[in-house]
Amino acid sequence: MEGMLRMKIYYKWDNSGLKLNLFGAYYGFVAISLGLVWYLALKSILILTLLMKKVFRLDVDTSKGWGVRVNAIWGWLVLRLTGCWPVITGKGRVRKILKGRGKGEGGVMYVANHCSWLDIPTVAMAIGIRKNYKIIAKSSLLKVPILSSAIRTGSNITVDRSSRRSQLTTYKKGVAWLKEGVSLCTFPEGTRSRTGEMGEFKRGAFKMALTTGSPIVPISISYTNVLNPPDFVFPVLPGRLIPVRAHVHDPVETEGRNEKDVVEEVRRIINTGLSEEQKSKDWRDLL
């Protein structure tokens, strides 16, 4: 199926190793134009927060997630205006999970496979644009214009996987957020798959969930790697022609469980919701 979908890509333009077609040019125009508004909105939040703290001496609760919601609104608009909206199933589980957690019970950990940068807005739509959560992202993304402001304004967590100190700091921040009742979202493969096939999971996010007893919500994402192949700077065709899918699974409880067993169960569950081309080679061993 993936090979047939790739035949729909017609016009290619090579620029510093990355390609662009006509649809990609339109997508880029929409994303960048809205990105300027997005940037101004993020800066406005920072300025207002600073004024409230310094001038009015108000104790501003940064965990409320206004920056997160602004980021999600940008993603919502881009996906809608470009026809790249994913087919989302199981979304009602998110509302049910959060509603069922009493005050003081902590947040949940959303875990998804990763094969395209489009996974980020796709997961945001699956969780819901009004929900507050923090993404665990690579520290290298802080070098990307606008995106760096989005990460900081949303109080998201960054990690440098080459630094043990950074990993420890990330772990402590993640545990603190979960204990405060703020959910986290992570792509445990650490980087996106170049082939679309799901890889091995790093265990940092699972350690956070196990430490706090937070449930893990697996999310399976299919075909974002076809919509936006790794050698193209922007998507190559509207998502409705594929379509991209995101499936939210039932939560995996972590209370009193073994880390290895939890990791294997989450990988098995995510595999069941993926396209055949994206299932990991060892997924049958997890059944």
Report the DSSP beta bridge partners of residue 221: 246
Q: What is the pLDDT of residue 80?
A: 95
Asked if 237 and 9 touch (Cβ cutoff 8 Å), the reply is yes
First to last CA, the chain: 24
- Listed in sequence order, the DSSP H helices in 108-252 are 119-127, 147-153, 164-179, 204-212, 224-227
Structure tokens at 270: 């995510």
Secondary structure element (H or E) that encloses residue 110, with its range: strand 109-112
User: Please, what are the domains in the chain?
Assistant: 2-281 (3.40.1130)
pLDDT in tens, 247-282: 999 999 999 899 999 999 999 999 999 998 899 887
Q: What is the pLDDT of residue 11?
A: 42
Q: How far apart are CA 4 and CA 81, in angstroms?
A: 25
pLDDT in tens, 168-205: 999 999 999 999 889 999 999 988 898 899 999 999 99
Task: Using the CB atoms, write b or e for 21-49: b if 16+ within 10 Å.
Answer: bebbebbbebbeebbeebbebbeebeeeb
Q: What is the pLDDT of residue 241?
A: 85
Segments in the chain below pLDDT 50? 1-16
Q: What is the pLDDT of residue 63?
A: 59
- Amino acid present at 83: G
Q: What is the pLDDT of residue 56?
A: 66
